[in-house]
A and B are shown apart, each in its own frame.
Chain A
Amino acid sequence: MPLKKIEKKILSGKRLTSEDALACFESSDIFTLGRLANHVAQKLNGNNAYFVQNHHINPTNICVNRCKFCAFSKSRGDKGAYEMSIKDIVKKLKGQVGQRKGTKTAGTAKLRHKGTEGFSEVHIVGGLHPDWGLDHYVEILQKIKEHFPSLHIKAFTAVEIDYFAKISGLSLKNTLTALKNAGLESMPGGGAEIFNARVRNKICPEKINAGKWLKVMETAHSVGIKTNATMLYGHLEKYKHRVEHMLKLRNLQDKTGGFQAFIPLAFHPKNTNIDNAQYTSGIDDLKTIAISRLFLDNFPHIKAYWIMLGAKIAQLALCFGADDLDGTIVEEKITKSAGALSGSAMTKSELINLIEKAGKVPVERDSFYQALTK
């Protein structure tokens, strides 16, 4: 049994080496991997499976980068290019709240603010707009806070932060501090893609390199902003690149402790310009979840992002080491344009049902994984 050694390490709480992780990827024994990952998840999070009720806002799809695999972005003047004014954003947040009021949200968390019933977080990411300055983003944050003071704002990938710093001429630290002062409380983990320089140069040469991405995250952690980390897999990378990617994250996490969740993202081939792109297999999705749980021993959470994986695989991921399904998402343009497998919203009771049927305990959380009182 090639996984015997790994099993021993996991059960005695020892850290896996990169070679171990690679052996896991090369193994076809998904049952042992799943069982061990579930064991680790249980130790860290008990039987809990978390979810959050959040809005997604993508303020613009106009982007100067135009990454090859990005089916979401447009250039200015393209058909379908859009930008939301700050008013639109506030209206949208209010509008969705109104829409939800009509539908019954059973057992909603305590009313936090008139109008934001049920939702605890707004998630904002978008393209790198050629003209918007840092001030504009600061204002978006301030206006949201003004209207919804208790809504947690999770916003801007490392790629956007780096861009804001560049256009404003400020240091990363000062950029992040300015955003933090305006209301930014945590950051998503996007833009990490795959760190390996050779693969990265093939799939997103336009994007900041691995060193820069990690630098932004390190700086964010240092000014007290928690973040997530992602990994885009299933395109041109090899298993060893996945391991290399996770190792860099684990090393940084040792240093800062600022990462909350790791989110493996399956590559979606539709509408992208990569030749012969395929959907990842369900087996690969589950293995990647399980191995990330085993290898990233210092990450508190592994997220199975249902909108990318499809509800069925995401549910199954809860038996393979994941402990978070993200949320009931109201708007998510980015994966939709890349041919995601799911619709764009799931109700809270549907999410709860999925979790319970997987044998886990559903816990509605806030942005820092605190359980919200029922």
Chain B
Amino acid sequence: MTTQKKKKSYSARITKKEGLDLLKNADLLGLGSMADGMRKALHPHNKVSFIIDRNINYTNVCINKCKFCAFYRNADASDAYVLSKRKLFNKIRETIKHGGTQILMQGGLHPDLGLDYYVDLLKSIKAKFPIHVHGFSPPEITYISKTSGLSISDTLLTLQEAGLNSIPGGGAEILSDRVRKKVSPKKIMSKQWLKVMEEAHKIGMKTTATMMFGSVEGPEDIIEHLDAIRRLQDKTEGFTAFIPWSFQPGNTELFQNSKFKIQTPATGVEYLRVLALSRVYLDNIPNVQASWVTQGLKMAQVALRFGANDFGSTMLEENVVAAAGVKYIAAVNDIIQAVRGGGFQPVQRDMYYNIISENL
């Protein structure tokens, strides 16, 4: 009650301390209604957007071996792969056929793929298809810069010139090095993740930001994450959306390795709490996505009243999460129905949140 009152009368943004207090102590419905109010203020038109795109994992070979990742393979594994151009183009063709406007290209950190590979890949895609390429999260960008010997900024410029349009917010997990050292010790640390994003924003590339919670973090780590994102956004305004999702334990080392003590994945109530807090805390990020992939369509509908204004992507393909045993296959129609059922008008958007189609 008191927190709600505080929020109603607030004009300034909430502090870290207030955020922590909300996350730990606010009752779920109180926090939800704050987030819902904020969502309405930012998006008064009662529309909920989604993008038709396809997640293309160009390789599953990765030197990082993060403990929460069920997707990576060693280079010599029998099911290790690098996608051929023929297969890639087919996937893009299919995406466009299904009304898709974007591909989300992500992959492991493959020791043999250098900057040339990426430049060639992007150029050949752009030569053939009018499609938005949202690709390569900060760990990949960092790795490419390292193997090519270029600075982050020059790496990004090279990729941008070759056709890269925007960068996904993956690899953020929790931007608290205490947690990162435990769950992804080889992955870039928080500072580096933020630096890649800052450089990208500087050259005019928009990016998203994600947060994967429900592993070994505490509430303080979540606040640290949100605060880091908010501070960078104040500086650059380059984030289009924030996407919190919960760790999916399935086939991962993090779940199987008992020393991490994760008995159960985050529950629906915990997801909504974090989502709502994110909406309230990130007052400078326009969009917050519901994660139907990790939560299912019904919870994603509820999420639309707990701060989310976007249904994310149709994920015509989702290898990374599917490998962890979560399978919510939703067709575009299911998403449209789900948004309507939740009481909103579904609209198709692009990566910049421009509405492409309202007649669905």
Interface residues of A (CB under 8 A from B): 28, 30-31, 34-35, 38, 278-286, 309-313, 315-316, 319, 341, 349-350, 353-354, 357-359
Contact = CB atoms under 8 A, between A and B. Distances in A.
Main secondary structure of the interface of B (DSSP, over half): helix
B29 A34 contact: yes
Interface of B: 27-30, 32-33, 36, 263-264, 267-272, 295-302, 304-305, 337-338, 341-343
B29 A35 contact: yes
Contact of A319 (B28, B33, B36): B28
Contacts of A38: 29
A315 B270 CA distance: 10
B264 A353 contact: yes
**The 9 A-B residue pairs with the shortest CB-CB distance in the complex, in nearest-first order:** A312-B268, A281-B341, A282-B298, A31-B33, A282-B302, A282-B301, A357-B267, A312-B299, A281-B301
Contacts of B296: 310, 312, 341
A278 B300 CA distance: 16
Contact of B342 (A283, A311, A357, A358): A283
Contacts of B30: 31
A357 B269 contact: yes
Contacts of A350: 264
Contacts of B271: 312
16 contacts: A31-B36, A38-B29, A278-B337, A279-B298, A280-B341, A281-B298, A281-B338, A281-B343, A282-B301, A283-B304, A312-B268, A315-B268, A319-B28, A319-B29, A357-B270, A358-B269
Contacts of A341: 296, 298
Contacts, number: 85
Contacts of B298: 279, 281-282, 285, 309-310, 312-313, 341
Contacts of B269: 315-316, 319, 357-359
Contacts of A359: 27-28, 269
Nearest to A319: B28
Nearest to A280: B341
A361 to B, nearest CB: 15
A291 B178 CA distance: 45
A36 to B, nearest CB: 10
Contacts of A312: 267-268, 271, 295-296, 298-299
B306 to A, nearest CB: 10
A282 B30 CA distance: 19
Contacts of A278: 337, 341
Contacts of A353: 263-264, 267
Contacts of B33: 31
B267 A313 contact: no
Contact of A282 (B29, B36, B270, B299): B299
B29 to A, nearest CB: 5
Contacts of B337: 278-279
B267 A315 contact: yes
Contacts of B341: 278-281, 283-284
Contacts of B264: 350, 353
Contacts of A282: 297-302, 342
Contacts of A319: 28-29, 269
Contacts of A281: 298, 301, 338, 341-343
Contacts of A357: 267, 269-270
A34 B269 CA distance: 14
Given A31-B32, A285-B298, A359-B28, A316 B343 contact: no
Contacts of B338: 281
B38 to A, nearest CB: 13
Contact of A30 (B27, B263, B297, B305): B305
A305 B338 CA distance: 21
A30 B30 CA distance: 11
A341 B268 CA distance: 14
B247 to A, nearest CB: 15
